[in-house]
Each structure stands twice: as structure tokens, then as C-alpha cells.
């Protein structure tokens, strides 16, 4: 399962980088979305995948049962998803506004301000 | 719970919230902004005094014990950075009163500035890597909006580059955090430092490189700096100034923190690489500046060049086995950061007044400012000469301490580079001086716009006070250097940090 997810994460990263390198602001956003999804899945996988009961301490016990999964990566991912969602929502509005103002979807048109 | 550790986050947050409530009442927002920044400065100084007297302060939020809960830590280095954030926050808040236009003010400039300060303070005070990520995002979100606020075409062009590269950096940072958690099972920095001492070093070095890239993009080191000169000259001056002073330094802070505390296993590789990066960053930054003729773009390229000096101390510290030499190098870096934040913000603020009086940021269109406003010319000369490293200003002692450390470590190549770059910095500063201040104004321009008394007060007071601070650091270099040395000692003494956060080992 980990191998499969590792390959999937690799594909997400590759596709994300490819889209970022395309000459289009819209594809740039899609590339950023894929990169952030790749990072989230990576945390999920790196936290260790187990088929086990939910990590709940039974009444009267002091510790988790053996082989319990680690719930923390999911909490981290949840935070990262919320942050990623809001940042990308802002980026979408920014890029849309830039498209309206500059009148082009081509990143090469952004060079004007660098000269 | 130590209140002093929480206040640098609570004061900007409260100020931002109150400013949002006063959305339609700009005069009230202005007062709140200045009062909040002054409060931040006050409590950050109190925090520094507390840490100076009592050693590293750590506090566990929600009373969850250390590796599980959220930890706030202030060692002297963090406390110094928070004080500098307060200084820059207050200077920019006052400067904004006279320089920010009303449309931007009425679309939430003041609350955003406070949120930015909160994010920066949070990044300096957190003791947990995932929290560092969250604070980075808080800071970035505010900076995105500040950069794009106003929506001028150039601003949007700059913002797209800035947003894209920072999001890529965040994604890499997040991935690195995830892998690190997979290896160590913790993200508390002190706990990581303890656990990773026994971990396999190959994977760790690869991870260190991932962190280096993620923080390197944010700190704008060679070859990851392209977003900086593409965006910093586009927003209003007050925004540029606060970005120039604080944002890249958060990246430098994160680099110093992880490469002194966590990734210290394979210093022969990682810190040599840091040293090479430092040299390349210094050179490319200063050469980039030499080719520019726009006031703020010259200054932006100099930020990059100066980042190289800060990384230089970090690289030297890792390559030596003697703690005394490591302390000396890191003290040089910390002194440099203190000097740089004040001076660079000040230069940006001066560029704003110069363009107000001369009508442009283009050096070709400026001129004659020395004759029309000699006071401003002197206020430019102080930080400019300090940046170039002229004695007796702060920049001289900052460079001197780094170069002494480099000589003691027998890294002569990097010392030579640092000296030459200092000379080229002087060249850039004299170029601005000659073009904007000394030469005759181009053609017979109209009567230069006069500043009203209130504007003059709000614009020149922060510049004057920051210049005074530069001179003070220069003349009182010894106590300031003592502070930097104590901070560096705490960085070198990893056990001390770990004990302060986790308590005594059982």
C-alpha cells in the first residue's frame, strides 16, 4: 500500500511541476493544487499506514493498545488542507484579477515590471 | 504559562481584531495601529529583559507537557528578533500614517499589517516545526494581500511571482515536515534534536536539503531569490519596507534554528554547502544591484547580498569543532541581522520620501535632493554608509565580527568575497547618492511638492529614530555584541535549549 501511495505522490509532484512550467497562469494554479495535495498525501503515508482499530484508549487503561495507528498525521493534514485551501482560493482570485488587468494568461507578460 | 511569551502574539491579534471592528473609522484604525505596534515593542523589550535575566523561557500552551503540546520558546535569539519586529512594526506604522493612500487604508491595510507582525512573531517564538509552518502561512497570507492591495498592474505582476514561489516553498516545507515526522515521530524542535542524534545520517542529510530549499526560497538565497527583486519594488513604500526588514529574515531565522539545533550530524556536507551558498548569494546580489537604476530595485538586490553575510556566520559555525569559534561566528550573524533589519527598513523608508519629493523611483529622473532637502540627504547617508560597512556605524562592526570569525576559521576565500562585496555595496550606495541627491535635477522640473508639517513629522520621525539606532549600535557596539554573543552561546549550547523545553532527562 505504501509503495502504491509513494508512486501516486510521485505522479502528483511530477504533474504539478509540469503544470507549473507550462506557459499559462491557469495551469500554474492547477500545478500548485497538485503540489499541495502531493505534500498532504506524503504526510499521510510517512505517518505509517496500518489496518488497525481506532486509536482510542479503552476505559481503565492508561495506554493505547499495541499496533494502534498514529492519529497525529491526520490532524496535521487537516490543518494543512485548510491552509492550502484558503491560500489557493486567494491565489485564484489574484490570478483572475491579474488576468483582467493585464489581459493575458501568459506568464511571459509578467516580465514588464522587471525591467 | 508565561504571559510574556504570549503577549507578542496576542497584542497584534487583538489590534487586528479591533481594527476590523472599526472598519469604517479610519482615524480610530490609525490610532490603534500605532498603539498596538508600540505595545508590541514594549512587551518584546520586556521579554528580552526577562530572557536576559532568567535564561531560555519556554511555555506549554494548554498545559500539555512538552513533546505533545504546542510549545512557545524564547531564547535570546528569538527575543532579539521579536524586539526588532516591534521596532520595525512601530516605525512602519507611524510612517504609514502619512504615506498610505486612503483607498488602501479603507480596505484593511492596518489590520493586515498587524496580522503580518503576529505571523512574524509567531515564527520567531514557536518551538515546533509544524507550528512554524502555520506561522509562516499566517505571515504569507497577510503579505500576499498587502502586496496585491491596490491592484495596480505592476503589483499584480509582482504578486503572482511572489505567491507562486512562496507556495512552492510551503509545499516543500510541508513535505519535509511530513517525512521528518515519519522518521522521528515528533515535531517538537527540542525533542527532534534529542531523537535525531542517534538516527541514520543519510536520510537526514537529504531532509536537511529539503529544508534548506524550502527556507532558502523564503530567505532569498542564491539561486532561489528571483521572486524578491521581482516583487519588492511594486507595493507602496511602507509595505516594501516592512517586507524588506522582516520577511526574508524569518527564513534566515528558520535556517539558523534548524541548522544549529536539528541538522548538526553531517556538518561537513551541509555547512560547507551553506558557506558556498553564502558566497554566491553575496556576489550575485551585489552584482544584480550594480545593474539597476531604480531606487527600490537596487535596495532589493542588496537584501539578497546581505542575506549571504547572515548565512556566512551559520556556515562557519558548523564547520568548526571549537564551541568558542562557533559562538563567534553565530554572534557575527546575529549582530548582522540586527544591523541589517534596522538599516534596510530605513533605506526603503528614505526611498519613499525621495520619490515623494522627486516624483519617481527611477534614479535617472531624480536629482538635486541634497540641495532641496539636506536633512533627508543626511538621513540617507547614515544607513547607506552603515550598509556599506563604514566605521563607526553598525554595519562596520557587523562585517568586522564576521570577518574576524572567518579569519579565525581560516576560510580565506569567503573572507575575501565578503570584503569585495562590501566594496561593491559602497559603489551602489554612492551611485544612489550621486544620482538622486548630488546631480542637478533633470531638466527644469516643476516646483517640487512640499510636505505638510504633519507629513514631515510622520515620515521623517521613524527614519530619524532608525538612523539614531544605527548610530547607537555603532557607538555602543560592545554591549550589543555582548548580547549577540550571549544569544550565540545559547544556540551553540543545544543541551540548554533542549532542557529548557523538555525539562531534565529522566
**Structure confidence by residue, pLDDT tens digits, B18-29:** 999 988 888 899
Angstroms from B407 CA to nearest CA on chain A: 38
**Per-residue pLDDT at B444:** 57
φ/ψ of B59, rounded to 5, equals -145, 135
Chain-centroid distance, C-alpha B374:
29
Give the confidence band of B432 by pLDDT, cuts at 50, 70, 90. confident
Q: What is the mean pLDDT of residues B129-143?
A: 93
Q: Are A99 and A105 in contact (CB under 8 A)?
A: yes
B293 in reach of chain A (CB within 8 A): no
Query: Over the stretch A26-63, which tens digit does the pLDDT of each residue have?
Result: 899 999 999 999 999 999 888 777 776 777 788 887 77
Residues of B in contact with A80 (CB under 8 A): 133, 174
Name the strand (E) or helix (H) holding B59. Answer: strand B57-61
Tell me if B179 sits within 8 A of B215, measured CB to CB. no
Residue B130 has pLDDT above 80, yes or no: yes
Give the global pTM: 0.93
Interchain contact A92–B (C-beta under 8 A): no
The pLDDT tens digits of the residues spanning B449-476 come to 777 777 888 888 899 999 999 999 988 8
- What are the strands, taking DSSP E only, across B278-320? none
3-state helix, strand, coil in chain B (%, to 5): 80, 5, 20
pLDDT 10s digits, B276-302: 999 999 999 999 888 888 888 999 999
Give a three-class secondary structure readout of B363-374. CCCCCCHHHHCH
CB-nearest partner of B161 from A43, A101, A110 = A110
- Structure confidence at residue B322 as a pLDDT band (50, 70, 90): confident
**Per-residue pLDDT tens over the stretch B86-102:** 999 999 999 998 888 88
Judge whether residue A113 has pLDDT over 80. no
Enumerate residues 154 to 183 of chain B having a beta carbon within 8 A of any beta carbon in chain A: 154, 156-161, 163-164, 167-168, 170-172, 174-175, 177-179, 181-183
| A69-104 pLDDT per residue, tens | 778 888 889 999 999 999 999 999 999 988 888 887
Beta carbon pairs, A and B, within 8 Å: 108
Query: In this structure, are residues B303 and B374 in contact, taking their beta carbons and an 8 Å threshold?
Result: no
Looking at the predicted structure, is the pLDDT value of residue A14 above 60? yes
Q: Which residues of B touch A83 (CB under 8 A)?
A: 134, 137
Distance between CA A29 and CA A70 in Å, rounded?
32
DSSP one-letter string for B98-117: HHS-HHHHHTTHHHHHHHHH
| pLDDT at residue A73, as a whole number | 85
Interface pTM (ipTM) of the complex?
A: 0.91
Amino acid at each position: 500500500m505504501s509503495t502504491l501511495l509513494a508512486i501516486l505522490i510521485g505522479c502528483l509532484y511530477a504533474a504539478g511541476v509540469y503544470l507549473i512550467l507550462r506557459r499559462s497562469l491557469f495551469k500554474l494554479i492547477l500545478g500548485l493544487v497538485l503540489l499541495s495535495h502531493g505534500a498532504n498525501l506524503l504526510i499521510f503515508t510517512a505517518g505509517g499506514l496500518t489496518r488497525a482499530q481506532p486509536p482510542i484508549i479503552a476505559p481503565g487503561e492508561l495506554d493505547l493498545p499495541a499496533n494502534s495507528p498514529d492519529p497525529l498525521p491526520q490532524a496535521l493534514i487537516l490543518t494543512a488542507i485548510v491552509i492550502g485551501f484558503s491560500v489557493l482560493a486567494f491565489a485564484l482570485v489574484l490570478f483572475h484579477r491579474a488576468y483582467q488587468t493585464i489581459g493575458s494568461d501568459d506568464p511571459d507578460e509578467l516580465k514588464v515590471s522587471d525591467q | 504559562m508565561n504571559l510574556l511569551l504570549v503577549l507578542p502574539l496576542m497584542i497584534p491579534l487583538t489590534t487586528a481584531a479591533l481594527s476590523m471592528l472599526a472598519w469604517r473609522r479610519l482615524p480610530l484604525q490609525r490610532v490603534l495601529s500605532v498603539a498596538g505596534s508600540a505595545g508590541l515593542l514594549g512587551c518584546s523589550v520586556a521579554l528580552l529583559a526577562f530572557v536576559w535575566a532568567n535564561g531560555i523561557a519556554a511555555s506549554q500552551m494548554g498545559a500539555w507537557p512538552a513533546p505533545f503540546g504546542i510549545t512557545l520558546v524564547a531564547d535570546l535569539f528569538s527575543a532579539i528578533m521579536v524586539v526588532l519586529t516591534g521596532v520595525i512594526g512601530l516605525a512602519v506604522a507611524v510612517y504609514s500614517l502619512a504615506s498610505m493612500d486612503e483607498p488602501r487604508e479603507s480596505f484593511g491595510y492596518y489590520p493586515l499589517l498587524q496580522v503580518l507582525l503576529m505571523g512574524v512573531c509567531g515564527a520567531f517564538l514557536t518551538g515546533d516545526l509544524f507550528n512554524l509552518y502555520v506561522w509562516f502561512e499566517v505571515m504569507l497570507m497577510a503579505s500576499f494581500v498587502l502586496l496585491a492591495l491596490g491592484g495596480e498592474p505592476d503589483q499584480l505582476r509582482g504578486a503572482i511571482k511572489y505567491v507562486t514561489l512562496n507556495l512552492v516553498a510551503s509545499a516543500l516545507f510541508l513535505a519535509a515536515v511530513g517525512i521528518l515526522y515519519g522518521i522521528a515521530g515528533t515535531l517538537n524542535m527540542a525533542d527532534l534534536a534529542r531523537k535525531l542524534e542517534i538516527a541514520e545520517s543519510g536520510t537526514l542529510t537529504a531532509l536537511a536539503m529539503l529544508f534548506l530549499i524550502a527556507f532558502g526560497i523564503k530567505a532569498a538565497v542564491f539561486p532561489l531569490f528571483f521572486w524578491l527583486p521581482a516583487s519588492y519594488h511594486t507595493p507602496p513604500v511602507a509595505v516594501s519596507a516592512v517586507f524588506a526588514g522582516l520577511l526574508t529574515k524569518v527564513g534566515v531565522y528558520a535556517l539558523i534554528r534548524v541548522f544549529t539545533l536539528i541538522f548538526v550530524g553531517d556538518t561537513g556536507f551541509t555547512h560547507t554547502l551553506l558557506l558556498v551558498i553564502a558566497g554566491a548569494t553575496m556576489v550575485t546580489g551585489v552584482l544584480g544591484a550594480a545593474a539597476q537604476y531604480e531606487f527600490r530595485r537596487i535596495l532589493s538586490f542588496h537584501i539578497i547580498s546581505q542575506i549571504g553575510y547572515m548565512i556566512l556566520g551559520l556556515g562557519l559555525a558548523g564547520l568548526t569543532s571549537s564551541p568558542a569559534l562557533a559562538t563567534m561566528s553565530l554572534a557575527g550573524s546575529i549582530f548582522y541581522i540586527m544591523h541589517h533589519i534596522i538599516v534596510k527598513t530605513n533605506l526603503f523608508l528614505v526611498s519613499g520620501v525621495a520619490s515623494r519629493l522627486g516624483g519617481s523611483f527611477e534614479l535617472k529622473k531624480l536629482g538635486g535632493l541634497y540641495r532641496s532637502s539636506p536633512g533627508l540627504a543626511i538621513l540617507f547617508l547614515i544607513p547607506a554608509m552603515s550598509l556599506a560597512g563604514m566605521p563607526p556605524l553598525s554595519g562596520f562592526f557587523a562585517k568586522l565580527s564576521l570577518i574576524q570569525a572567518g579569519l579565525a576559521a581560516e576560510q580565506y576565500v569567503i573572507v575575501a568575497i565578503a570584503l569585495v562585496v562590501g566594496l561593491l555595496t559602497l559603489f551602489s550606495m554612492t551611485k544612489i547618492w550621486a544620482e538622486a541627491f548630488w546631480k542637478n535635477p533633470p531638466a527644469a522640473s516643476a516646483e517640487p511638492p512640499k510636505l505638510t508639517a504633519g507629513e514631515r513629522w510622520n515620515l521623517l520621525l521613524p527614519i530619524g529614530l532608525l538612523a539614531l539606532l544605527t548610530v547607537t549600535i555603532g557607538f555602543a557596539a560592545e554591549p550589543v555584541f555582548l548580547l549577540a554573543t550571549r544569544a550565540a552561546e545559547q544556540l551553540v549550547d543545544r543541551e540548554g535549549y533542549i532542557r529548557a523545553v523538555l525539562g531534565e532527562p529522566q
